[in-house]
Amino acid sequence: MKIYALGTQSDWFYQSGCWGKPGLQRVADLCVEAGVKRIYWRTHNGGKAMYPSQVCSINDSAYHRSPAFKEGMGTLPKSYFNYMKYVDYSNWDQLTDMAEISAATGLEYAHWYTIHEDNHGIHVSSAFLEDHPEFQCRTRDGRAIPGCLDFWFPEVRAYKLAIVKELLAKPADRLLLDFLRRNGTPSADGEGHYRYGYNPEKLEAFRKETGLDALKLHPSDPEWKQWLQFNAKPMTDFVLEIAQLAHQAGRPIDLLLWPVDQLDWMAFDLPAMARAGAVEEVLIGSHTYAFSAAEVRRQLEAIRPQLDGTPAIAVPGLPAYYELPGEAVDRFVAEAERQGCDRMVIFESDTLIRSPLVERFRAISLNRSHHSRAVRAVRTEGKPDWTRVPIQTGFLRAFATDEAQTSQKTSFQAAHDGQSLYLRFICEERTPQTIVPVPRFDPNNYNVKQLSYRMYWDPYESIHVALDYRHQHEDFVLFMVDPADDARAGQWLEEGWDHPWQHTAQVGADRWVAELTIPLASLKIDEPTGKILGFQAVRVQNQPREVSSWFNSKGRRLQPLEFGHLTLE
Averaged pLDDT in 10-residue chunks for the chain of 569 residues? 91 76 86 88 93 93 65 53 77 96 95 91 80 94 91 97 97 96 83 94 97 96 96 95 95 96 94 95 91 92 97 94 75 92 90 54 34 80 95 82 79 96 96 84 75 71 93 88 92 82 96 97 93 92 83 62 86
What are phi and psi for residue 148, nearest 5 degrees? -125, 110
Name the region of 221 (left: φ>0; alpha: ψ -120 to 50; beta: rest): beta
Distance CA 396, CA 93 (A): 40
Which residues belong to CATH 3.20.20.80 in the chain? 2-191+233-355
Q: Give the bridge partners for 313, in sequence order.
A: 281
* Per-residue pLDDT, 363: 31
The answer to whether the CB of 240 falls within 8 A of the CB of 273 is yes
- The pLDDT of residue 457: 60
Cα(117)–Cα(181) distance, rounded to whole angstroms?
6
CATH 3.20.20.80 for domain 2-191+233-355, yes or no, is: yes
Give the count of alpha carbons within 13 A of 456, CB side only.
Answer: 26
The pLDDT assigned to 496 comes to: 73
Task: Say yes or no: domain 364-568 is CATH 2.60.40.1190.
Answer: yes
- What is the pLDDT, as a whole number, of residue 358? 30
Question: Closest Cα partner for 503 from 488, 490, 491?
Answer: 488
pLDDT reported for residue 541: 87
Residue 82 is predicted with a pLDDT of 66
Which residues of the chain form CATH 2.60.40.1190? 364-568
Who's near 86: CB < 8 A, 6+ residues apart?
A: 19, 61
